[in-house]
Amino acid sequence: MATGNASEDKFLFPPFHSFPPSYTRQPVPETLAKQTQLWCDLIRDYCRIKRIFWLDIATIKNEALFRNDKIGRRLSDKDILFFLGQLVSRGDGEWATDHMHCLVYWRRPREWGDLIFSWVQRKALG
């Protein structure tokens, strides 16, 4: 389900994606909080640019989002689930009932509603 119509080379990964310690969950709470923020923002931005709504864990874990071949690193399945869980906790996603698919809100439902409402008003449809 992780499909989009743009090529991966059009997405510019942030510098932390090339920093090897980014691929290991950090033990210091303050560092983990920053790492979590960076991964959640990256997931949301990547999905927005690639126009991906649903992440299929089995598929996405092997894509560039969670790995960097240049430095030979990738997130473990456990850490992928952790960071997606944090994304959901902060209101930027939702788990499917199987917990193997995550709906990523690159705009929160309220934001989509506001955009749609504004569009309807502009078009004088409502």
pLDDT of residue 122: 85
In the 8-state DSSP scheme, what is residue 9?
Answer: G
Tell me the whole-structure pTM to 2 decimals.
0.81
pLDDT of res. 5:
44
Q: Which ranges constitute the DSSP H helices of 4-108?
A: 29-50, 57-60, 77-89
Q: Are 102 and 54 in contact (CB under 8 A)?
A: yes
Q: What confidence score (pLDDT) does residue 126 get?
A: 52
Residues in Cβ contact with 104 at an 8 Å cutoff, skipping those fewer than 6 apart: 43, 44, 47, 52, 53, 54, 55, 87, 92, 93
Tens digit of each residue's pLDDT (9 = 90 or more) over 14-53: 999 999 999 999 999 999 999 999 999 999 999 999 999 9
CB 60, CB 10: distance < 8 Å: no
Question: Are 47 and 55 spatial neighbours (Cβ–Cβ below 8 Å)?
Answer: yes
